[in-house]
Amino acid sequence: MSDQKTAVFVVMDGVGDRPLKELGGKTPLQAAKTPTFDRLADEGQNALMDVIGPGITPGSDTAHLALFGYDPITDYPGRGPLEAFGAGLETKPGDVAFRANFATVDSNMVVLDRRAGRDFEPKEQAELQTALDGIEIDDVKVRFIATVEHRGALILKGEGLYAEISDADPHEAGKKILTVRALKPEAEKTAQVVNKLMRVAHERMKDLETNKERAKKGIPLANALLLRGPGRHSDVPPLPVRYGIKAAVIAGGALYIGTAKYVGMEHIPVEGQTGRIDTNFDNIAKKTIETIEAGYNYVFVHIKATDNASHDGNAKEKILAIERTDSMVSKIIEKVSDKIVIAITGDHTTPISVGEHQCDPVPIVFWSNFIRPDSVKRFSEIDAAAGALHTIRGIDVMPLLLGYSGYIEKFGA
Amino acid sequence: MSDQKTAVFVVMDGVGDRPLKELGGKTPLQAAKTPTFDRLADEGQNALMDVIGPGITPGSDTAHLALFGYDPITDYPGRGPLEAFGAGLETKPGDVAFRANFATVDSNMVVLDRRAGRDFEPKEQAELQTALDGIEIDDVKVRFIATVEHRGALILKGEGLYAEISDADPHEAGKKILTVRALKPEAEKTAQVVNKLMRVAHERMKDLETNKERAKKGIPLANALLLRGPGRHSDVPPLPVRYGIKAAVIAGGALYIGTAKYVGMEHIPVEGQTGRIDTNFDNIAKKTIETIEAGYNYVFVHIKATDNASHDGNAKEKILAIERTDSMVSKIIEKVSDKIVIAITGDHTTPISVGEHQCDPVPIVFWSNFIRPDSVKRFSEIDAAAGALHTIRGIDVMPLLLGYSGYIEKFGA
């Protein structure tokens, strides 16, 4: 195997766009001043990328799973485990995880408020978490963490658990919490555990100090748990096992951190990284360089501001987010250009004109000091079509990045 | 079905490269004078090719298997059968084959020299081969052939044999030959046969004339056999069965001949074909033309000199090998241009700057007197990116070549 370099993977969330009248028919990437991205496009290899497949609009979770080299269909564990990892709990292969809500029920388990009023103080979240975390149902252990407002993540740990169960959440107020059924025979045990858990959680929650206070104030009680998005942590090997690499994630948003940790990356916190346009780009650059120099083999850097601007229909802010990321990358290149293979891309297209994820492919550029150049001169959705890599899929990114970085062994003799 | 032509497939081993400073930023293919390849690129259809897949560095064996139209992962039989075919023995579906070494052991089967001194005279090889070829263990027949120095190939022929067994070779001197275990239940019989074979081979080898002489000279005895790289000949149909074609291989290196014969090609020997830069390019051209005119439907021509130069970091010799192959192809085209569809490519990239196989794709051109041209004018890694075929995989080559040559029937009515 030849010299190894650190693979640096920069994702601008939702950066792909469509021509905009207000930008004279240009996309935000075309309208932005991006001297660094353009240099990388000029000297490197470009492609358009269908992150999942042609015509498929990627979700943020499936997109990142594909970009990390996992099959977004067969290897997708559902939202539960990704949320749990993002919240700070860790699932292991075989665990089943859920997104959880505090809710309000009456004595017949009829749902009165699916979000228990939505607002929670840290003290309330702490008491509810303590009441729920550590419950045992038969031989299954329950882990629970409260996250934002009425939300949390819940994990079932034990033998023979499966995610194929029906929903307990009636999805509207005025209806009773539903009895969960197994959707395949192997999931029978899990369905029974969840049904028992619904009652045990209610018993443990209803008389807490939090609820006495909430009753006094006349705000909805947090006396039940609603679970959704069940997912089972699969046996797919994480990145360190699959490729023998030490991988890091530098991101602001919980879902991105969660998905990255699910595949075995270590989260490197950055002061001032917010996942918004006010994120501290300088600190992100500094920490990325430090992480490269600390000997990590792969560093994933996620910038969320581009997607927020897209959802808000704010072209000016999207351009600003792109230009700030360009400048951030220039600082990284300046310091460690000889030590890295770098790829710049987005996880999907979120056109300013639509404000939601769409199916259009995104541009991607691969650069290192040895990579063959192609005829592309600028980094954009339009220019990338002439790239030497033509059209690739999200799942091709990891082999390409790690292949060029020297972490994939020769296949055959 | 339309008129049929002969498919001619020319592979320059390891021809792909990266921009080189000493060539003014050109690759060897760009720096070489290749009027014939350039004419074919100008008049034909070009692509970049991931021989195995994006980011995957191909081995020589898996690369050629893919280029012959076989799935390099599921259809790969392991090195044993490919070596056996290269050495002149033929495996049949169900046979299990190994690479073999003569070794030196003491009376407790402790390995003293894994290569028995490495040097062997033809007379010694012949005596050892006679002693080992034809051994029978239960209902399993053993075929053995001595090849180069201490090396050979060994085949087990019989019912119910599998390659999933552990290694007998302790891989260092001073350790005892290991007892082989089955790695799946079906391989139990094979493991037992190999364990018995280790003892029988030792008994047959230890008192040979060869060893009496070696003992006198004080050089290591060849009194044991080490086996590695077990592989089972799969049930995948060979080319003549799969496509109804008569296929030939013109190559110097044993591995290429072996892989080609494994998939059903006949080896056409060429006087002076060495697999080095001194190979007789004129004779190869002549024999290729003869083979085309003799009615073969497919002729695979392998040139090894490009890869040797790459491994040696010798850009000048790589350019020379490319230019000589170009001139060889011009002679073929001159004689039989109306009778052929020809493809020119490499099996992988071996950059001069690295000296080892790397993951970068290789250029490929398809030419016949009827093929649609594209915008590419020169044959190189950089120019090929603009080809009409965009990016293809190694496994696509055979259908393209045979499709254009008229050997693949219409699919549907």
Which amino acid would we find at residue B137?
I
Structure token pair of residue A157: 């740990």
The whole-angstrom separation of Cα B387 and Cα B43 is 11
State pLDDT tens for residues B353-362.
Answer: 999 999 999 9
Identify the burial level of B370 via C-beta atoms within 10 angstroms of its C-beta, where 0-12 means exposed, 13-18 middle and 19 or more buried: exposed
A408 contacts in chain B (CB < 8 Å)? 55-57, 359
Label residue B2 by pLDDT band (50, 70, 90). Answer: low
Element (H, E) at B8: strand B6-12
> Which residues make Cβ contacts (< 8 Å) with residue B306, sequence separation at least 6?
B12, B13, B14, B15, B318, B321, B322, B325, B346
- Please tell me the distance in Å from B395's CA to the nearest CA on chain A: 15
What's residue B171's pLDDT?
A: 87
Task: Give percent above pLDDT 70 in chain B.
Answer: 100
- Please tell me the distance in Å from A12's CA to the nearest CA on chain B: 23
A402 contacts in chain B (CB < 8 Å)? 55
Asked if A387's CB is within 8 angstroms of B390's CB, the reply is no
- Please tell me the distance in Å from B256's CA to the nearest CA on chain A: 12
State pLDDT tens for residues B193-239.
Answer: 999 999 999 999 999 999 999 999 999 999 999 999 899 998 889 99
B57 contacts in chain A (CB < 8 Å)? 403, 408-411
A373 contacts in chain B (CB < 8 Å)? 19, 382
Residue A413 lies in a domain: no
Neighbours of A347 (CB within 10 A): 29
Q: Per DSSP, which regions of A81-129 are E strands? A: 96-105, 111-113
Q: Does A67 score more than 60 pLDDT?
A: yes
SS3 B48: strand
The whole-angstrom separation of Cα A266 and Cα A251 is 11
CA B44 to each of CA A135, A374, B378, B389: distance values in angstroms, whole numbers, following the listed order: 70, 21, 10, 10
Tell me the average pLDDT across A145-153. 94
User: Are B369 and B308 within one domain?
Assistant: yes
**Domains in chain A, number:** 2
Percent helix, strand, coil in chain B, to 5, is 35, 20, 40
What's residue B235's pLDDT?
A: 85
The answer to whether the beta carbons of residues B250 and B290 sit under 8 Å apart is no
Task: Give percent above pLDDT 90 in chain B.
Answer: 92
State pLDDT tens for residues A6-40.
Answer: 999 999 999 999 999 999 999 999 999 999 999 99
Mean pLDDT (chain B) is 96
Q: What is the ipTM of this complex?
A: 0.86
Residues of chain B with a CB closer than 8 angstroms to some CB in chain A: 18-19, 27, 48, 52-63, 65, 72, 76, 79, 351, 353-354, 356-360, 381-382, 385-386, 390-391
Asked if A388's CB is within 8 angstroms of B59's CB, the reply is no
Tell me which chain A residue has its CA closest to the CA of residue B83: A413
User: Are A310 and A227 within one domain?
Assistant: no
The answer to whether the beta carbons of residues B200 and B135 sit under 8 Å apart is yes
Tell me which chain A residue has its CA closest to the CA of residue B384: A388
Residue B24 lies in a domain: yes
Q: Which of B350, B358, B362, B395 to mutate against chain A (most A CBs within 10 Å)? A: B358
SS3 A390: coil
CA B240 to each of CA B84, B236, B247, B343: distance values in angstroms, whole numbers, following the listed order: 20, 12, 7, 20
- A59: domain range? 6-75+236-405
Q: Decide which of B209, B232, B255 is a domain's last residue.
A: B232
What's residue B249's pLDDT?
A: 98
What's residue A1's pLDDT?
A: 45
What's residue B236's pLDDT?
A: 86
B58 contacts in chain A (CB < 8 Å)? 410-412
Residue B54 lies in a domain: yes
User: Are A279 and A184 within one domain?
Assistant: no
User: Are A164 and A267 within one domain?
Assistant: no
A410 contacts in chain B (CB < 8 Å)? 57-59, 357
State pLDDT tens for residues A362-394.
Answer: 999 999 999 999 999 999 999 999 999 999 999
User: Are B266 and B215 within one domain?
Assistant: no
Q: How far is CA A110 from the centre of its chain?
A: 33
Residue A104 lies in a domain: yes
CATH number where B314 lies: 3.40.720.10
User: Are B159 and B243 within one domain?
Assistant: no
> Which residues make Cβ contacts (< 8 Å) with residue B39, sequence separation at least 6?
none
Size of interface A-B (CB pairs under 8 A): 88
Asked if B18's CB is within 8 angstroms of A371's CB, the reply is yes
Structure token pair of residue A214: 């909430």
User: Are A57 and A87 within one domain?
Assistant: no
Residue A309 lies in a domain: yes
> Which residues make Cβ contacts (< 8 Å) with residue A121, sequence separation at least 6?
none
User: Are B375 and B387 within one domain?
Assistant: yes
Label residue B260 by pLDDT band (50, 70, 90). Answer: very high
The whole-angstrom separation of Cα B292 and Cα B332 is 10
Asked if B386's CB is within 8 angstroms of A387's CB, the reply is no
Q: Decide which of A232, A262, A277 is a domain's last residue.
A: A232
A365 contacts in chain B (CB < 8 Å)? none
User: Are B160 and B263 within one domain?
Assistant: no
B360 contacts in chain A (CB < 8 Å)? 372, 404
Tell me which chain A residue has its CA closest to the CA of residue B380: A372
Tell me the average pLDDT across A315-343. 98
Q: Decide which of A184, A215, A232 is a domain's last residue.
A: A232
The whole-angstrom separation of Cα B158 and Cα A113 is 72
What's residue A236's pLDDT?
A: 87
Label residue A2 by pLDDT band (50, 70, 90). Answer: low
> Which residues make Cβ contacts (< 8 Å) with residue B320, sequence separation at least 6?
B277, B309
Q: Does B33 score more than 60 pLDDT?
A: yes
- Please tell me the distance in Å from B123's CA to the nearest CA on chain A: 30
What's residue A196's pLDDT?
A: 97
Tell me the average pLDDT across A231-235. 92
Residues of chain A with a CB closer than 8 angstroms to some CB in chain B: 1-2, 370-375, 386-392, 396, 398-404, 408-413
Residue B412 lies in a domain: no
User: Are A299 and A202 within one domain?
Assistant: no
Q: Does A346 score more than 60 pLDDT?
A: yes
State pLDDT tens for residues B90-112.
Answer: 999 999 999 999 999 999 999 99
Picking from B56, B63, B354, the nearest residue to A403 by CB comes out as B56
The DSSP letter of residue B68 is T
Q: Which of B51, B57, B378 to mutate against chain A (most A CBs within 10 Å)? A: B57
**β-bridge partners, A47:** A364
State pLDDT tens for residues B163-180.
Answer: 999 989 888 899 999 999
Task: Give percent above pLDDT 90 in chain A.
Answer: 93
B28 contacts in chain A (CB < 8 Å)? none
Residue B410 lies in a domain: no
Asked if B351's CB is within 8 angstroms of A372's CB, the reply is no
User: Are B169 and B119 within one domain?
Assistant: yes
**β-bridge partners, A140:** A137
- Please tell me the distance in Å from A389's CA to the nearest CA on chain B: 7
CA A169 to each of CA A155, A162, B244, B344: distance values in angstroms, whole numbers, following the listed order: 17, 18, 61, 62
- Name the range with the highest mean pLDDT among A230-239, B25-34, B269-278: B25-34
Q: Does B1 score more than 70 pLDDT?
A: no
User: Are A138 and A26 within one domain?
Assistant: no
**Quick one: residue A69, left, alpha or beta (phi over 0 = left, psi -120 to 50 = alpha)?**
left
Q: Terminal CA-to-CA distance of chain B, rounded, Å? A: 13
Asked if B54's CB is within 8 angstroms of A392's CB, the reply is yes
Residue A375 lies in a domain: yes
Percent helix, strand, coil in chain A, to 5, is 35, 20, 40
DSSP per residue, B241-253: HHH---EEEE-SS
